[in-house]
Every structure is written in structure tokens, then in C-alpha cells.
Amino acid sequence: MASKRDYYEVLGVPKDADAGTIKKAYRKLAMQFHPDQNPGDKEAESKFKEAAEAYDVLGNQEKRAQYDRFGHQAFQGAGGGGGGFRNMEDIFSAFGDIFGGGGGGMFGDIFGGGGGRRRGGPRKGRDLRIVLDLTLEEINEGVSKTVTLNRTEPCGACQGSGAKKGTGKKTCGTCHGQGQVARSAGIFQVAQTCPTCQGAGEVIESPCEECNGSGGLRAKADVTIQVPAGVEEGMRLVVRGEGDAGSQGAPRGDLQVVVREREHKLFQRSGPDLLIEVPVSFSQLALGDKVEIPTLTGKVDMSIPAGTQSGKLFRLRGQGLPRLEGRGQGDQLVRVFVEVPKKLTDRQKELLREFAELENERSGKKSFFERILDHFA
């Protein structure tokens, strides 16, 4: 499979381009490769879709931030988030305001209202948003999670059409099928969405009694989310076509999944790196030792050199989390510190007093303050 081109390259803009520049660049490409301007040209259609996919990401502040950080992989494993357009109608639905008619959209004055596509009509389903709690272990491996949603499903009685069985739709008498009506605004005529058919150009003759003509009913549905390894707190995954059903057969909305990390009892996270603090005894630091360190995937041995100071930070290469960009693993940082026993036996106290006396002799009975100065000299 050919790799995707960089979205900034597709639109021909620098990475620090502002929103206006990005929109202008997309407008230019969409004008050039619009299917109404290039009938039957598969290459133009492909470039039109590619530009729409790039604008879908770079024209959205949150998606652009994720793309700048993780590239195309920010939208993998979750149905895509940059474009996953199934067909041309998805593009016109996603950018309804841009492809709208009446001169109000980006292409209204050029293609006569989006190349003959009527503004409004059955509306795409509403996007849903959930927060998904993940453990560090799940983030480390990547995980498939099934969630239960309460969303709008197509009405079974009318199959989502909104019309009573045996009946259909008729041309709207207000706009005569145009989906828009003209309103006077001083010396100008302004096109507005028809208030009767809401831009559909058609009205239902006899609404379905089950859904009152909406074409949808609330119901529970299980959705499986593929979470890639290495995701981070606050990252947004998009599962295409798993939101509410659209009105009267229009496409579904999307499911937006916001990642939330559960607090771990041992590890703290910093990007792909993990930090753990490990208590050791004074003798282990002074004499050196080999200790067993827990990781997300098991235990590993780590050597502590003799004379190690409390607070020393060790690095276990490749024992962190996967890097989302696909460049290997992070590291695990291990901070060792002296654990002072709360209770001592008489023998332990005796040995510590003897050790303290030897220390005093070695330092020539210097004061505590003098020893501090010697330490930092």
C-alpha cells in the first residue's frame, strides 16, 4: 500500500500556515479538481479526495495538533481521523457549509451551489464523544475495547426513511424541490434553507408513527475500538460511522474517543518513558548489589555499583512504552533511595553506633556542618 503524502505537501502550505492560508489553499485545489469540472477524470477525483482529507485534518485545530505530533499514525487503529471518506457524498456532507449553494459557500458562486448538489437535505448523524479509561499495561500492548453506546439507530418500522409504511415523499410545496427559498434583504435577494423541508426539497406525506418521521430511535449498541499502542492522555481517536444514525437514511456521525490514563500504583509516565522509585537499604548503596526491578512486562535485574548515592537515577533502555511514531520503545528510569527502617533490633543499633564512631574517627571529629562543606567542596 502506497504511503500517504504529507498533508501540508498536499495543500502546498508551510507547517506554520494559519487557518486562512490553509482554507485558501484547499479552495484553490477543490476548484481545480472538483468532479463537476473534471467529469470522468479518476485522477482529478483522487486528488479532490486527497485535498479534502488533508483539509479535514489541517482545518481542524485539534486534529492538526495531533497530526503535527504523531503524523498519519495519530489516526490509525480507530477508523481514521483524517479523512476516512467513503465516497464523494461524505465529502460534501462533511463540508456542507463550504459546498453549499446560494452564494454563501466557498464554491457557491463557481459551481452554482455545489455542482447541482442541493444544500441541506437529510442531515448526517450527530458525532458522539466518550472518554476511554486505559491502564498503562493496555497502552503498552495496544488493546481492543468494546463499549456500549446509547445512540440513534434507524427506525425498524420505516427502515430509517421517516415515512409510514406504504407511503413516501413528495416535492416540497414551499421551495418546489429546491431546498431553498429567497428572502428580501433590502435591495438584495438572499437564499435561505427552506423552513418547511429543512433543505431536503421533499416532505414526508405520512410520518412513521414509531419515530414521528425522524427515521431514528434511541437504542443501545456495542462498538469495538482498536486502540494503538503508545497513545497518550488526552489523545483523540475517531471511529468513523459509529455515531448517531443520520436522518432519513443520511450517513452516520462519528464516534470520538478521548483517551484517559488510569493512575498506576508503581509508575509515572513522561511521554514514552516511565519512572519508578525503588527503596533500597544503606548497605546496598554502600556495598553495591543486584536488585530486581519491576517493569510493565515482568521483572529485570539491575546492578547498583558500590558507593551509589541516594536519589541516583538509572536508565533501563527499551523498557518504556512504544513510541506512537513507530520509532521503538521509550526507557524506564529507576530512582533509588534509602529506606530508613522504622524499628531496629538491639544488635542493629549496636552495629550502627559502632559504624558512627568509625565515621567520626575517619572525619577527624569534624562537625556536621564541616562535613557538609567538605561534601560540596
Q: What is the DSSP string of 259-289?
A: EEEPPPSS-EEETTEEEEEEEE-HHHHHH-E
pLDDT at res. 44: 85
Domain limits at 368?
268-375
CATH number at 19 reads: 1.10.287.110
Q: Mark whether 39 and 79 lie in a shared domain.
A: yes
Q: Mark whether 37 and 66 lie in a shared domain.
A: yes
Task: State how far the Cα of 8 lies from the Cα of 172, in Å rounded to an integer.
Answer: 43
Q: Mark whether 282 and 250 lie in a shared domain.
A: no
Yes or no: say if 249 and 122 are a contact pair by the CB < 8 Å rule.
yes
Asked, for residue 79, whether it belongs to a domain, the answer is yes
Q: Mark whether 132 and 251 lie in a shared domain.
A: yes
Asked, for residue 58, whether it belongs to a domain, the answer is yes
Q: Mark whether 354 and 307 lie in a shared domain.
A: yes
Asked, for residue 187, whether it belongs to a domain, the answer is no
pLDDT at res. 34: 79
Choose one of 97, 120, 143: the last residue of a domain: 120
If you search the block for the grid coordinates 462519528, which residue do you land on?
Answer: 254
Q: Mark whether 230 and 148 lie in a shared domain.
A: yes
Asked, for residue 185, whether it belongs to a domain, the answer is no
pLDDT at res. 374: 61
129 CB contacts (<8 Å, ≥6 apart)?
255, 256, 257, 258
Asked, for residue 169, whether it belongs to a domain, the answer is no
Q: Mark whether 288 and 247 lie in a shared domain.
A: no
Q: Mark whether 238 and 296 lie in a shared domain.
A: no
Q: Mark whether 141 and 48 lie in a shared domain.
A: no
39 CB contacts (<8 Å, ≥6 apart)?
none
pLDDT at res. 258: 93
Choose one of 62, 90, 120: the last residue of a domain: 120
pLDDT at res. 139: 95
Per-residue pLDDT of the chain (377 residues; tens, 9 = 90+): 457 889 999 999 999 999 889 988 998 888 888 776 777 788 888 888 898 898 989 988 888 888 888 888 777 654 445 556 666 666 665 664 554 443 334 444 334 344 334 445 567 889 999 999 999 999 999 999 999 999 999 998 888 888 888 888 888 888 888 888 887 655 556 677 888 887 778 888 899 888 888 888 999 999 999 999 999 998 999 999 999 998 777 789 999 999 999 999 999 999 999 999 999 999 999 999 999 999 999 999 999 999 999 999 999 999 999 988 667 899 999 999 998 888 889 998 888 888 888 877 766 655 655 655 665 55
pLDDT at res. 69: 81
Q: Mark whether 257 and 135 lie in a shared domain.
A: yes
CATH number at 362 reads: 2.60.260.20
Asked, for residue 186, whether it belongs to a domain, the answer is no
Q: Mark whether 14 and 135 lie in a shared domain.
A: no
Asked, for residue 47, whether it belongs to a domain, the answer is yes
Choose one of 262, 288, 322: the last residue of a domain: 262
Asked, for residue 180, whether it belongs to a domain, the answer is no
Domain count, the chain: 3
pLDDT at res. 109: 38
Q: Mark whether 309 and 327 lie in a shared domain.
A: yes
Category of 112 on φ-ψ map: left (φ > 0), alpha (ψ -120 to 50) or beta: left
